[in-house]
Amino acid sequence: MKHILHLISSIQGNESYSLKLGKAIIEKIQDKYPNSTVEEFNLTDIQIPHLHPEVLRTFFIPEDQLTPQDKESIGFSDQAVKQLLAADIIVIGAPLYNFTIPSSLKAWIDHITRAGITFGYGENGPVGKVTEKKVYVAMSSGGIYSEGPGKTNDFVVPYLKAFLGFLGMTDLTAYRVEGLKVPGVKENAMKKAIESIEID
Ligand SMILES: Cc1cc2nc3c(=O)[nH]c(=O)nc-3n(C[C@H](O)[C@H](O)[C@H](O)COP(=O)(O)O)c2cc1C
C-alpha cells in the first residue's frame, strides 16, 4: 500500500491529457499496490504566489524564531513540503506550455525547494533530502519532443529529472502523450501512451 500524491497543472480541466495520463498511471500503481491512497493537488485551483523577497527572507529564519506573520508568509511552502514528504509516489501532470512546464508547477517547485529541509550542501556538494520516492511524470504536448526534429527543444522531462533529482528524487519515469496537434499521430496518442505504462 502506497500513498500517492497527484499533482495536476493543466488549465484544461477534465479535457486535459496530462490529467488523463496521470490517472492511467495511478490506476496501474493501484493494480500493483492495492488499497493505495491518492491525494490530488490541483495547482490551478489556487493562485500559488511567486517567490518574493518576504518569502525568501523567511525561508532562512530558524523555526523557533518565526513570528505569526512569518509563518503566514511560508504557510503554503510548509504545507507543500509536508504533503510531498508524506507521499511514497508522486505523479506529476506536466503539460507542455510554451516549451516548458506551466508556471503553477514551477511555482510549486520554487516553494518545495527549501535549504536545510529538502536539500542541503555536504562536503561533496548538494545533497537532496527528499529520498525514497518514486516519481512518475505524465507529460502531454501538441508536438513530438521525444524524437525527431522536436528533440532539441525537449526541456520538460530533462528539467524535471535534473531538478527533482537535485532534491533527492532520483527515481523518475516519464510517460508522454505527444503529438496531440499532429494529424495522423493525435488519433492514437493516448492509447499509445497508456500502453507504454509499466509500474516497477
Ligand atoms: C498555453 C499553451 C501553450 C502551449 N505550448 C505548446 C508548446 O510550446 N509546444 C507544444 O507542442 N504544444 C503546446 N501546447 C499544446 C499543449 O501541450 C497540448 O494542448 C497538451 O494537450 C496540453 O496538456 P493538457 O491537455 O494536459 O492541458 C500549448 C498549449 C497551451 C494551452
**Which CATH number characterizes residue 23's domain?**
3.40.50.360
Q: How far apart are CA 21 and CA 35, in angstroms?
A: 20
User: Minimal CA–CA distance to 114: which of 67, 44, 65, 61?
Assistant: 61
Residue owning the nearest CA to atom 29 of ligand 1: 97
Asked if residue 9 is part of any domain, the answer here is yes
Mean pLDDT of the chain: 97
Largest separation between any pair of C-alpha atoms in the chain: 60
- Say how many Å lie between the CA of residue 157 and the centre of ligand 1: 15
Predicted confidence at residue 200, as pLDDT, reads 84
Domain limits for position 66: 3-195
User: Within a domain: residue 200?
Assistant: no
Q: Are 21 and 56 in contact (CB under 8 A)?
A: no
Q: Judge whether 90 lies within some domain.
A: yes
What atom in ligand 1 is closest to the CA of residue 93?
26
Distance 95 CA to ligand 1 centre (A): 6
Q: Tell me, yes or no, whether 143 lies in a domain.
A: yes
**Cell numbers linked to 78:** 510548509
Whether the per-residue pLDDT at 80 is higher than 90: the answer is: yes
Give the predicted TM-score (pTM) of the model. Answer: 0.97
Q: What is the mean pLDDT of residues 55-74?
A: 96
For the Cβ of 121 lying below 6 angstroms from any atom of ligand 1, the answer is no
Q: What is the pLDDT of residues 102-155, one digit of tens each?
A: 999 999 999 999 999 999 999 999 999 999 999 999 999 999 999 999 999 999
Residue to mutate (ligand 1; options 101, 141, 147, 177; most atoms within 8 A of CB): 141
- Considering only CA atoms, which residue is closest to atom 28 of ligand 1? 97
Percent of the chain at pLDDT exceeding 90: 100
| Residue 7 pLDDT class (50, 70, 90 cuts) | very high
Domain count across the chain? 1
For the chain, the C-alpha Rg in angstroms (whole number) is: 18
From 7, 18, 21, 98, give the residue whose CB has the most ligand 1 atoms within 8 Å, as the site to mutate. Answer: 98
